[in-house]
Structure 1
């Protein structure tokens, strides 16, 4: 498999519709980046959950998933499931996140996600982050919208297991969901690992990118 190198990563932007989307979609990648990049700057936007227990869970979880990072987390109170009805507010929040930083990488939901809140963010992100590498993450859930990733991030040994442990530890409000368990999370990272010939990996979707050919 051909590897691509993003170059130095010092700042990333994270966009999510709900508390726990980021940890589910790229928790292993966040752990890997935070461990390998001292002082990593993270600007994160979550559309729903402000003023609830979910917001407290999210802040504690991201602090655990991004140890040592400089974390700027913004959580809005848009009603869960109704983000498209709050298009203007979501658009402005994404625009503000773009204005306040200059990320080397952007992570957002992918366009094929069946959830309307996720899909809205997937559509808004490239309208503001026009000159950035945007990777769409997958969110494990009951809908049969599992994508076909085009980019894989191999996870270092032990990171997939740590991701599953932290998810269960920091999101107690989600433990009653029949899919929210260690086996589910490890099954997906193992599947993505099989698809890129490693033990565990996380998969992402890439709409478009430019490439510079070496060896000239």
Structure 2
């Protein structure tokens, strides 16, 4: 397994289409990053959910998933399930968010996601963040759109369990869903762990990176 390592991170941008996408897709990675980099600037964009009960749920949840971070959360008011029909509003909202941050690394939904809102956001992310690596996280759900990852992030057993615990604690609106349980979340992290020879991991899709061999 060939490892890629990042140095000190000052700021990350994290993009989600809906409240809970980010925590489900990369909650263990957020916990790891924020614990390893106290004071990390975390700038969050969520396209839908403003002025609903889920907005408060999301803001509180991200506070739990980003301990000791300099956290700013923007939750937009686009209609859930209809963002492709509101392309211009999504584009302008994301552009405005981009003007307010300068991240070292960007996390977003992945472009082959079957949900139209996730896919639309993934398509727009590289049009605004042209100079950053964008890691596309996976969101487990009933569609069979689980991607073939290119990058894996090993997480400790403690962190994997913390993710699952916080998902249940922070998203009471979702716990009655038939797939929202420990086996789902730990199962996917265990599979990704097998694929990179650790116990648990979260996985990402990266479309393009630049390699610097130091010869220029």
Settle same-fold status: TM greater than 0.5: yes
TM-score, scaled to structure 2: 0.97
1:156 Cα deviation from its structure 2 partner: 2.3
SS in 1 for 2:166: helix
Question: Deviation digits for residues 2-51 of structure 1, max 9, x if unmatched?
Answer: 00112221100011100000000000000000000010001111111111
The 5 Å alignment of 1:64-103 reads 64-103=64-103
Relative to structure 2, which stretch is displaced further, 108-117 or 90-99?
Answer: 90-99
1:214 Cα deviation from its structure 2 partner: 6.5
The 5 Å alignment of 1:108-147 reads 108-147=108-147
Return 5+ residue gaps in structure 2 as ranges: none
Distance in 2 (CA, whole Å) between partners of 1:46 and 1:91 is 13
Distance in 1 (CA, whole Å) between partners of 2:215 and 2:77 is 50
**Which residue of the partner structure matches residue 212 of structure 1?**
212
Distance in 2 (CA, whole Å) between partners of 1:111 and 1:6 is 24
**Which residue of the partner structure matches residue 173 of structure 2?**
173
Distance in 1 (CA, whole Å) between partners of 2:214 and 2:165 is 41
1:52 Cα deviation from its structure 2 partner: 0.9
SS in 2 for 1:204: strand
**Which residue of the partner structure matches residue 54 of structure 1?**
54
Distance in 1 (CA, whole Å) between partners of 2:89 and 2:112 is 22
SS in 1 for 2:26: helix
Distance in 1 (CA, whole Å) between partners of 2:58 and 2:24 is 12
Distance in 1 (CA, whole Å) between partners of 2:34 and 2:7 is 15
**What is the aligned length?**
216
Distance in 1 (CA, whole Å) between partners of 2:144 and 2:103 is 32
**Which residue of the partner structure matches residue 33 of structure 1?**
33
Distance in 1 (CA, whole Å) between partners of 2:93 and 2:209 is 24
Distance in 2 (CA, whole Å) between partners of 1:38 and 1:159 is 16
Question: Deviation digits for residues 143-196 of structure 1, max 9, x if unmatched?
Answer: 000011100000023000100000011001001110001110000000000000
TM-score, scaled to structure 1: 0.97
**Which residue of the partner structure matches residue 202 of structure 1?**
202
Instruction: Summarize the Cα distance change of 1:170–1:30 in structure 2 as closer, same or farther, 3 Å threshold.
Output: same
